[in-house]
Amino acid sequence: MESLDNSFWQGIILKLSFKPEKVKRTMAALIYVGLTGAKFTTDIVPKSIWEDNTTSGCAVRMLSGAKRGLGFLQCIGRVPSPAKTRHGAEVKEWRLLPEKRSLALTWLERNGFDLPTNDTDIQRELFSISTSLAQNGEIQPA
């Protein structure tokens, strides 16, 4: 078993000790995106939720299988970032593992987030988020 003095875990612990709600909200946003069955990058999450790249990185590491994470997300490749500020830099593309869907819903419920009633609700919310980001110039419209 790895010890918690590993620099990876130190970073996670440090981030969670100061901003646990932003990390949780970012994790929830990534789960909501994943529940649609869509492939995505972390750039889909509005900056008002994640604040900085370390928060989104922490959230995705915790949701993926990295360093004994929850294993909800799977990296499926690298794609150019849709965020204008990233200037097309390659970023990881993720998907929610279908066999982890029920666990992801349980995580949302146990952490105080609303459960989507159907995929239409999720799609509507994601469209709203994407539209808002595009209007603010934070991402390029797809």
- Give residue limits of the domains in the chain: 7-135
The per-residue pLDDT for range 102-130, each reduced to its tens digit, is 999 999 889 888 787 766 666 665 565 55
Confidence (pTM): 0.70
- State the DSSP string of 101-122: HHHHHHHHHHTTPPPPSSHHHH
The pair of structure tokens assigned to 79 is: 């794609």
The per-residue pLDDT for range 34-78, each reduced to its tens digit, is 888 889 888 777 766 666 667 778 888 889 977 677 899 999 999
pLDDT value at 17 more than 80: no
